[in-house]
Amino acid sequence: MNKISTRNHSGHSRFAAHGHVEVWAEGQLLRYQATGPFNLELLQALDAADRGLMAATAAQGPFAILAEFAGSIAATPEALAALEGSLAAQNEAGLATVAVAYVVDPQAEGAEVMRSIIDAIYARQQLRFGWFQDLTSAQRWLTDCLSSK
């Protein structure tokens, strides 16, 4: 498994990325391990980091995303807008995922506030989204989503 890190991809800004994400594929599951809080520059670096891996995974058939968050899931308004823009671009490019699961500790910074905001972003992009407190439940849900596709 080759992990791709946002630390190896810079956005197009003079400001530093806040947060860190590692991405890798496990078959038709894209895995993300993320540590926030997140700013626009991090989302730009993530877009650059995962674009090729997402396209390669999508070329093999339907895929899902499993994102685990540690420490914080807080994000700036600009980062949230970039997330939504990235999802819209993926939809337009035919790279829409079958489902996305976030695994977030309820004690993580921003968990209570961000849940409804992120849920609304995925709903506006008409993407199946689940928020989970444990990895096992998220994996089970994604397996069901992929097998029903």
Residue 42 scores a pLDDT above 90: no
Q: Is the pLDDT confidence value at 16 over 80?
A: no
CB of 116 within 8 A of CB of 80?
no
Domains of the chain, first to last: 4-147 (3.30.750.24)
**Residue 72 predicted with pLDDT over 90:** yes
Residues 116, 73 contacting (CB under 8 angstroms): no
List Cβ<8 Å contacts ≥24 apart for 14-19: 15/39, 15/40, 15/41, 16/41, 17/41, 17/42, 17/44, 17/45, 18/42, 19/72
Name the band, by pLDDT with cuts 50, 70 and 90, for residue 48.
confident
The single-letter code of the amino acid at 25 is: A
Task: Return the pLDDT at 18.
Answer: 66
| pLDDT > 90 fraction of the chain, expressed in percent and rounded | 70
Per mean pLDDT, which range of 14-18, 57-61, 66-70 is the poorest?
14-18
Q: What is the pTM of this model?
A: 0.89
